[in-house]
Amino acid sequence: MAEKKYYVLSDLPYAYNALEPYISEQTLRLHHDKHHAAYVNNANNDLKKLEAARQGDTELDMKALLKDLSFNIGGLVLHDLFWDNMAAPTQAKKAPSGALADVINGEFGSFDRFKKKFTQVANSTEGSGWAALSFCKKTWRPIIMQVEKHNVNVYPTFKIIMVLDVWEHAYYVDYKNERAKFVDAFWNIVNWDKVNERLERVMKEDKQA
C-alpha cells in the first residue's frame, strides 16, 4: 500500500520582513507560523481521524468532522494563495497588465473600478473571511468572491486567482481594528505578475471544466 500523504506548511516566498512597512515581520511570523500552521496541523489530524474511522477503530460524528476538515483545508489553501500573490513593495507593480488587465477592464470598465469593488467586498466581509478574485470558465468572466471563514459562499469549481485575508489575525498587530487601512495597504504589495500567471494558466484549460 502506498504511503499516505499529508498536508505540509508551505514556506513563504520571501523573507518575514519583506512586506514592510505594509505588513510587519511580527504579523507575518504570527500569521504564517501560528495561524496557517494550525490549519495544516488540524487538517492532518482530521484526515487521521477519518482513517481511523474507516478501519473501524472509532465512531465519529461525520457531519462535524467533515465540516471541520472543510474549514481547515480552506484555510491552508487560501493562505498558500495569499502569500504567493504578494510581493515586496519594491517588486510589486501598481496595476495589472496582460490578460489580467484585459479581463478586469472588460468586466469592470477600469482597474480603478475593480479596485473600488474589491475593496468594498473586503471591508464588508462579515466577521472573519476573505475577499477573492475568481474566474468563471463557463462565462469567461472574472467574478469577485466574498468568503466567510474559509469555506462559506465559495463558488464551486471557480478558479481563485487572488485573495486578501481579512481575518483579524492578518492585520490586528499592525492596524488594530482598522481593517480598511489594512485593505488600502494591500494594494501596495500585490504581485500582479503572479495573479496574471494564475489567470493565464486557467485560461489555457478547458472552458467548460
Per-residue pLDDT of the chain (209 residues; tens, 9 = 90+): 577 899 999 999 999 999 999 999 999 999 999 999 999 999 999 999 998 888 776 677 889 999 999 999 999 999 999 999 999 999 999 999 999 999 999 999 999 999 999 999 999 999 899 999 999 999 999 999 999 999 999 999 999 999 999 999 999 999 999 999 999 999 999 999 999 999 999 999 865 54
Query: Is 181 within the bounds of a domain?
Result: yes
* pLDDT score for 173: 97
The answer to whether residues 133 and 184 belong to one domain is: yes
The answer to whether residues 117 and 150 belong to one domain is: yes
The answer to whether residues 199 and 105 belong to one domain is: yes
Query: Is 4 within the bounds of a domain?
Result: no
* pLDDT score for 62: 87
pTM of the model: 0.94
> Of 19, 121, 125, 10, which is closest to residue 76 (Cα–Cα)?
10
**What number of helices (H) and strands (E) belong to the chain?**
8, 3
Provide the CATH number for the domain around residue 146. Answer: 3.55.40.20
* pLDDT score for 172: 97
Task: Tell me the residue length of the chain.
Answer: 209
* pLDDT score for 1: 59
The answer to whether residues 71 and 118 belong to one domain is: no
Alpha helices in the chain (DSSP H): 25-29, 37-54, 62-84, 98-108, 111-124, 172-175, 179-186, 192-203
The answer to whether residues 63 and 159 belong to one domain is: no
The answer to whether residues 120 and 76 belong to one domain is: no
* pLDDT score for 91: 94
* pLDDT score for 178: 97
The answer to whether residues 80 and 105 belong to one domain is: no
Query: Is 141 within the bounds of a domain?
Result: yes
Q: What are phi and psi of 172, to 5 degrees?
A: -65, -40
The answer to whether residues 103 and 79 belong to one domain is: no
Range of the domain at 110: 98-203
Final residue belonging to a domain, choices 39, 59, 84: 84
- Residue 86 CA to residue 99 CA, distance in Å, equals 19
Query: Is 195 within the bounds of a domain?
Result: yes
Position 19, amino acid: L
Position 9, amino acid: L
The answer to whether residues 142 and 197 belong to one domain is: yes
Element (H, E) at 128: none
The answer to whether residues 80 and 104 belong to one domain is: no
Query: Is 20 within the bounds of a domain?
Result: no
- Count of domains for the chain: 2
- Residue 79 CA to residue 63 CA, distance in Å, equals 25
The answer to whether residues 196 and 117 belong to one domain is: yes
Query: Is 11 within the bounds of a domain?
Result: no
CB atoms within 10 A of CB 2: 4
